Amino acid sequence: MTIAHDERIDGPLSGWQRHELLAMFEKCLPAHCILSADEELKPFECDGLSAYRSQPQLVILPDTKEQLIVLVKCCAENKVPIVPRGAGTGLSGGAMAIDGGVMVSLTRMNQILNIDERRMTAKVQPGVRNLAISEAVQNLGLYYAPDPSSQIACSIGGNVAENAGGVHCLKYGLTVNNVLGVECILADGSLVQVGGDCLDNPGFDLLALLHGSEGMLALVTEVTVKLLPKPELCRTYLVSFDDVEKAGRAVGAVIGKGIIPAGMEMMDKLAIQAAEDFAHAGYPRDAQAVLICEMDGETSDVESLDAPLRAILTEEGATEIRMARTPEEQRKFWLGRKSAFPAVGRLAPDYYCMDGTIPKRQLPSVLKGIAALSEKYNLAVANVFHAGDGNLHPLILFDANIPEQLNKAEALGGEILALCVQLGGCITGEHGVGREKINQMCIQFEGSELEQFLATKKAFDPQGILNPNKNIPTLARCAEFGAMHVHDGQLPFPELERF
């Protein structure tokens, strides 16, 4: 779907024509870095959330940070919007040029710059693939912990922008918990270093602020990540249930007993069957839900938790507990889970992936709520969860060729996110807000909170050129959306409204 023109901003950010931009950048950048033909721009019109499309005026693929600095300074001088893009695997419409301008793809900046075995760190450029870091240090007995399902393709710069998680974030944390330092370019073209190669640094925690900022505050040029030793022992369990709510309760029961798995994933029957047809992982096709639970660490610790874990799961109604006996069986258990998104894509012409987070104790309630909403909208939903940390990924199946089905899918997704907020959760766990969830931000936050977000954006990017009209809604938009009250009809910070 193309963003309607009336949703674009007015003023200098939307006033450039393609030939004008092309002439501008040809003066300061090598020709091979610039894509301008329609057939070259077409692949960049959307990210992984392919329901929305908007073609950029130009795409720039810098080879070096020096070229990137020149580009940003040129855009700042001429008030040209910049849309940063990593590998394009994002799922919230964040890497989409809805306001024209230039898209900056960082995929060519893909070098691992340094590996420090003693400090257990790696310094990489933003275009380095997530999995490539672990591949580069596996001979040292080390690895990089965050592992999104798209880790074979997603880039570390994009992971920072979205604060990506993965199936093992329950124990090892999100990207923000595994990054020590970031070098980045601010909106005026200045190069700054935030953090370093230590666990803590003096001053404000700007490193955490940059994580999840979705390219709205700075463009990442280098990232220093911490590496971990590979665990001595890793055991993966496939646990079946005859009721999806029992599986939800089992998650809370395990963690409530003080057992913290490396990962604890959940899939419902529709997702199980799709994944089994796609990956042949050995999943039980008759189960209503499965948990994939992985325990890792020192051998004695992992072995000592086997019996207590089985006892809790059995008490909560597990019908079968199967432990992977070989590395190949373990790989297949995870292959099915990590293939869930493409597998579900075979069930319908289109699907709409949501990303809400709830307190773990609310898993049974939200599962019941999603089932009711699915029936209300007459659209099937396949549920895939990072259950251990309460991060939900309901996949809403629809057919965009049928009039109004996309609108129904969006409405259903919006109600799921509203349910997450109602139950004490939030509207995103790792996919970001982007353009997709910008209205739901009005449900999540009060006007005073949005004012602070807008003020932070203005402090980093006074002209509003970095990824404009994403992530933070204007207060006027929220008032129109009807989700919040705005100080007797007055909009504070009116000078911030176009951000």
Q: DSSP label at 466?
A: B
- The answer, yes or no, to whether residue 41 has pLDDT greater than 70, is yes
CA distance readout (Å), 159 to 118, 425, 432: 25, 22, 10
Which amino acid, 102? Answer: V
- Region at 55 (left for phi over 0; alpha for psi -120 to 50; beta for the rest): beta
Render pLDDT for 267-301 as a digit per residue (tens, 0 to 9). Answer: 999 999 999 999 999 999 999 999 999 999 999 99
The two three-digit tokens of residue 228, written as one number: 């971990």
As a whole number, mean pLDDT of residues 224-244 equals 97
pLDDT at 6 over 50: no
Token digits of residue 207: 């490193």
Say if pTM beats, i.e. exceeds, 0.85. Answer: yes
Burial status of residue 198 (CB atoms within 10 A of its CB: 0-12, 13-18, 19 or more): exposed
Beta strands in 285-380 (DSSP E): 289-297, 318-323, 350-353, 356-357
| Partners of residue 395 on adjacent β-strands | 353, 382
Give the Cα separation of 150 and 349 in Å (integer): 21
pLDDT of residue 346 exceeding 50: yes
What average pLDDT does the segment 185-209 reach? Answer: 91
Give residue-wise pLDDT tens across range 201-232: 788 899 999 999 999 999 999 999 999 999 99
Average predicted confidence (pLDDT) for the chain: 91
Structure token pair of residue 45: 């019109």
pLDDT, tens only, 122-170 = 999 999 999 999 999 999 999 999 999 899 999 999 999 999 999 999 9
Tell me: the pLDDT tens digits for 429-449? 999 999 999 999 999 999 999
Q: What pLDDT, on the 0 to 100 scale, is given for residue 10?
A: 35
| Exposure string over 201-237, b if 16+ CB within 10 A, otherwise e | beeeebbeebbbbbbbbbbbbbbbbbbeeebeeebbb
Cβ(392)–Cβ(430) under 8 Å? no
Phi first, then psi, for residue 344 (nearest 5°) are -65, -30
Secondary structure (DSSP) of 146-194: ---TTTTT-BHHHHHHHT---TTHHHH--GGGTEEEEEEE-TTS-EEEE
Closest CA to 106 of 135, 162, 65, 51: 65
Residue range 3-17: mean pLDDT, rounded: 46
**Residues shown for the chain:** 499
Mean pLDDT of 335-354: 93
The arithmetic mean of pLDDT across residues 356-380, rounded, is 95
Residue 488 has pLDDT above 70, yes or no: no
Give the model's confidence band at 482: pLDDT under 50 very low, under 70 low, under 90 confident, else very high: low
pLDDT confidence tier of residue 393, bands split at 50, 70 and 90: very high
Residue 93: CB atoms within 10 Å: 26
The Cα 396–Cα 378 span in angstroms is: 10
What DSSP character marks residue 334? Answer: H
At residue 9, the pLDDT reads 34
Helix or strand run (H / E) with residue 103? strand 102-105
For residue 13, the model assigns a pLDDT of 54
pLDDT over threshold 80, residue 403: yes
Query: Which helix (H) or strand (E) covers residue 133, if one does?
Result: helix 130-137
The reported pLDDT for the residue numbered 494 is 42
Domains and CATH numbers, the chain: 5-105 (3.30.43.10), 112-229 (3.30.465.10), 232-345 (3.30.70.2190), 348-437 (3.30.70.2740), 441-496 (no CATH)
Residue 52 is predicted with a pLDDT of: 81
pLDDT at 203: 83
